[in-house]
Structure 1
Amino acid sequence: MSKKLSIWQMTPPQILVLGFAVIIFVGAGLLTLPFASATGKSIPFIDALFTATSATCVTGLVVVDTGSVYTMFGQIVIVSLIQLGGLGFMTMATLLAIMFRKKITLKERLVLQEAFNQGSIEGIVRLIRKVVIYSLSIEAIAAVIFTIRWSFDLGFSKALYFGIWHAISMFNNAGFDLFGTVDAPFVSFTGYANDFVVNFVAMALIVLGGIGFVVMADLMEFRKTRKLSLHSKVVLSMTGTLIVAGALIIFIFEYTNNRTLGSLDLGGKILASFFQSVAPRTAGPNTVDIGALRQASQFFIVILMFIGASPGSTGGGIKTTTFTILIAAIVTMIRGKEDIVIFRYRLAKDRILKAITLTMLALFLVITVTMLLSTTESAQLLKILFEVTSAFATVGLTMGLTPDLTTFGKILISLTMFAGRLGPITLAYALQPKQEKELYRYPEGKITIG
C-alpha cells in the first residue's frame, strides 16, 4: 500500500522519467536474450542497454548494426520500443484505457499534459485519440508505398517487413534501419540516394512526425476551421524555412565534394541536399556518408540538430518554437521594442523565460558531455560534438564515433539521449524538491549588459 501511495504522489515529470526508464531496462533485458542475436550468443548488456535507450528515446545511434547483428525477434523488440517511445507510454496506456472503457483520472491527464507539453488538460484525451489515429494511418500508408517500391529489390515478404519496420522508424524520427549487412554495416539509406520514392516518403514521414501532433490536428481540421493556431503557424513557417535554408547551404558546400554530392547528377544533388536537411530534424537516416561531409556542413548540421523538431512531436532538440522565440527576442531588442510579437500576437514573458531556460540547459548539457567525452574518447572535437548533439536532439546521425565509444562513453551518451527525449526542463522538474510558495519578493536591481 505504501508503494502504491508513493507512486501516486509522484509528480507528472517524475512519472515520465520512471516510465521511460522501466521501458528501457525491460527492452535491454529482451535484447540480451540469446535468440535476439544473429550469432546466438547474448549481446553485452551495455550494448543492449544503449540500443534500448536509443530506440525508446527515438534516436537511432547504434553501437552494433541493427540489420546484421539482431535477429527478427531483436528487430521487432527494437521497433516496438520505437513505437512506444515515439508515441509515449502514457499514450499507449490511455489508448488501452479507452478501449476497456476505463475512466482517465486527473493524475493521468496531468501526466499526458506534461508528455505532450500542453498548456492545459482540456481536450487532452481527445488529442490522444487523434494522435493514435493519425500516427497509425500515416505509418500504414507509408508502409504500403515502401512495400511496393522494395518488392522490386527484396521480394514481397521481405519488402513488407521492411516497409512496416521503416515506416514506424521514420515517422517516429528514430533513424534505425535494417539495410546493413555483415560485410557492409551502418549503410543507412545510402543505396537510395537517387531514389525519389524512398527519399520523398522518408522525408514526408520525418516532417510529419516532427511537426507535432497538435499541428497535425490543426491541419486536418483546417477545412472546417479555415484557420491555424499561432503555434501551428510558427512551427510550419520555421520548419519550412530551416529545411529550405538547410538544403541550400548543404547543396552549396557539398556541390563539388566527390565523396558526397559531387558524384551525383543535378537531380540527385538536390534530392540528397533536401534529405540531409530534413534528417537533422531529429530523424537520423542519411543518403550520403556524414563522415565524408566537409567540416562546414557537419557543423551546420550540428546547429540544425540542436534546434530539432517541434513540441509535442516524436523529435527532440530545443524545438522550432523555442528557436523562433529567441530570434524574435533578438529582433525585438535590436528594434528597441518592448513586446515580442509573432504573427500579430504578443508573447507572455513566461514563454520567453522558458525558451531561454530550455536553451541554456540544453547548451550546458551538450557542452558538459562534450568536454567529458573529449577526455575519454580518441576523436576530434567536432566529431564528439556532433555525436553529443545528435544524442541530445535524439537525431541518430553519426560521423562514425558511436561503435568505437568506451563503456563510459556509451553510458554518458545513453544518459544524454534519455535527457534529450524527456527534455531538460522536464528532467529538472523531476529531480527538484517539492516547490514551496515564496512568501516575499526581493527589491528590483539593475545589471549592465553588453
Structure 2
Amino acid sequence: SKVILVTTAILIIAPAVFFFFCDFTGLPLDKRILASLFQSVTPRTAGFNTADLPAMTGSSKAIMILLMLVGGSPGSTAGGMKTTTLAVLILSAFSVCRKKDDAEVCGRRIDGSAVKNAAAVAVMYFLLFFVGGIVISTAEGLPLSTCLYETASAVGTVGLTLGITPQLGVLSQLILIVLMYLGRVGGLTLIYAAVSNKNHSGAKLPLEKITVG
C-alpha cells in the first residue's frame, strides 16, 4: 500500500507541475491548476480529455506517453504495466547502485521473482508500444512521435488520441485493436499463456556471467 500510494502521488504531482509551467498558459490560475492536475491523471487510463492534446508541447506528450504505459495500480480496472512494476524496477536500480543483493523498501526486502516479473512486463509493454508505433509510422507516413502516442494509448487502454486514428488505414487500425486487446489482457497473463510450463524441471544449466552496462 505504501509503495502504491507514494508512486501514485509522484505520478500525479510531478507531471502536474510540469504541465502547469509548460502548458495551459492562457488559462486563469485556478483553471490552470485544475487542468494540469487533470491532465496528469487522465493518461493513466481515465480516458477523458479536456485539453487540446495536439497543441501541447512535445515534452508534455512524451510525459503523457510514459504515464499511459505505467497506467494504474494492481487490483484496479486500469490498464498499463502498473505503478508497482515501475516502483519495483526503480527500487531494483537503486539497489544495484548501492551494491545491495536485494531491492529494499520500507524496511522490507523485495522478492527476486517480483523484480523478474516487473522487468518482463515492462519489456513486453515497451516492445508492443514501440514496434506498433514504428509499423504505423512506416505504413502511414506519419511522424513517429504521433504514432507512438496512439500506440501507448492503445496498449495502456486509455482512449486518448491526437486525432489521427480515424484517418488510419486498415493495417494500422488492426494494430491498434490488437494492442488494446493485449493491453487489456494484462502483461503476466499474456506471458504465462504464451509460454508453456510442461518442460519445467529442477535441472539448471551451467552459470555464465555476462557483462552489462
TM range (shorter): over 0.9
Q: What is residue 239 of structure 1 aligned with on the other side?
A: 8
For structure 1, the 5+ residue unaligned runs are 1-231, 255-260
Q: Distance in 2 between matches of 1:346 and 1:322?
A: 15
Q: What is residue 170 of structure 2 aligned with on the other side?
A: 407
Secondary structure of the corresponding residue to residue 203 of structure 2: coil
1:277 aligns with 2:40: yes
Would the aligned equivalents of 2:81 and 2:121 in 1 still touch at CA under 8 Å? yes
Residue of structure 1 aligned with 2:89, choices 309, 313, 326: 326
Q: Distance in 2 between matches of 1:435 and 1:319?
A: 29
Would the aligned equivalents of 1:282 and 1:395 in 2 still touch at CA under 8 Å? yes
Structure 2 counterpart of 1:420, which letter? G
Residue of structure 2 aligned with 1:373, choices 97, 121, 136: 136
Q: Distance in 1 between matches of 2:58 and 2:10?
A: 22
1:338 aligns with 2:101: yes
C-alpha RMSD of the superposition: 1.2
Residue by residue, what CA displacement relative to the aligned partner does 1:336-355 show, whole Å, maximum 9, x if unpaired? 12221111110111000000
Residue by residue, what CA displacement relative to the aligned partner does 1:20-45 show, whole Å, maximum 9, x if unpaired? xxxxxxxxxxxxxxxxxxxxxxxxxx
Residue by residue, what CA displacement relative to the aligned partner does 1:216-255 show, whole Å, maximum 9, x if unpaired? xxxxxxxxxxxxxxxx21111111111011100111111x
Q: What is residue 307 of structure 1 aligned with on the other side?
A: 70
State the Cα distance separating 1:434 from its structure 2 match: 4.8
1:418 aligns with 2:181: yes
Q: What is residue 213 of structure 1 aligned with on the other side?
A: none
Question: Residue 414 and residue 342 in structure 1: after superposition, are their counterparts in 2 closer, same or farther (change >3 A)?
Answer: same
State the Cα distance separating 1:439 from its structure 2 match: 4.7
Q: What is residue 288 of structure 1 aligned with on the other side?
A: 51
1:442 aligns with 2:210: no
Would the aligned equivalents of 2:68 and 2:153 in 1 still touch at CA under 8 Å? yes
State the Cα distance separating 1:406 from its structure 2 match: 0.9
Question: Residue 337 and residue 246 in structure 1: after superposition, are their counterparts in 2 closer, same or farther (change >3 A)?
Answer: same
Q: Give 1:19-418 correspondences, 5 Å limit.
A: 232-254=1-23, 261-418=24-181
Structure 2 counterpart of 1:437, which letter? H
TM-score normalised by the chain length of structure 2: 0.96
Secondary structure of the corresponding residue to residue 46 of structure 2: coil
Q: Distance in 1 between matches of 2:12 and 2:197?
A: 41
Would the aligned equivalents of 1:283 and 1:394 in 2 still touch at CA under 8 Å? no
Secondary structure of the corresponding residue to residue 384 of structure 1: helix
Secondary structure of the corresponding residue to residue 440 of structure 1: coil
Structure 1 counterpart of 2:13, which letter? V
Secondary structure of the corresponding residue to residue 444 of structure 1: coil
Secondary structure of the corresponding residue to residue 204 of structure 2: coil
Would the aligned equivalents of 2:89 and 2:119 in 1 still touch at CA under 8 Å? yes
Secondary structure of the corresponding residue to residue 120 of structure 2: helix
The structure whose residues are more often helix, as a share, is 1
Structure 2 counterpart of 1:238, which letter? T
Consecutive aligned runs of 4 or more in structure 1 exceeding 6 Å deviation: none
Structure 1 counterpart of 2:123, which letter? M
Would the aligned equivalents of 2:136 and 2:147 in 1 still touch at CA under 8 Å? yes
Structure 2 counterpart of 1:264, which letter? L
Secondary structure of the corresponding residue to residue 42 of structure 2: helix
Q: Distance in 2 between matches of 1:439 and 1:334?
A: 32
User: Which has the higher Rg, Structure 1 or Structure 2?
Assistant: 1
Would the aligned equivalents of 2:73 and 2:84 in 1 still touch at CA under 8 Å? yes
Would the aligned equivalents of 2:88 and 2:115 in 1 still touch at CA under 8 Å? yes
Would the aligned equivalents of 2:81 and 2:187 in 1 still touch at CA under 8 Å? no
Would the aligned equivalents of 2:71 and 2:156 in 1 still touch at CA under 8 Å? yes
Secondary structure of the corresponding residue to residue 281 of structure 1: coil
Residue by residue, what CA displacement relative to the aligned partner does 1:240-289 show, whole Å, maximum 9, x if unpaired? 111011100111111xxxxxx12210001000000000101111111111
Secondary structure of the corresponding residue to residue 134 of structure 2: helix
State the Cα distance separating 1:368 from its structure 2 match: 1.3
Structure 2 counterpart of 1:417, which letter? M
State the Cα distance separating 1:443 from its structure 2 match: 1.6
TM-score normalised by the chain length of structure 1: 0.46
State the Cα distance separating 1:433 from its structure 2 match: 3.6
Would the aligned equivalents of 2:74 and 2:82 in 1 still touch at CA under 8 Å? yes
For structure 2, the 5+ residue unaligned runs are none
Aligned residues: 213
Q: Distance in 2 between matches of 1:237 and 1:415?
A: 32
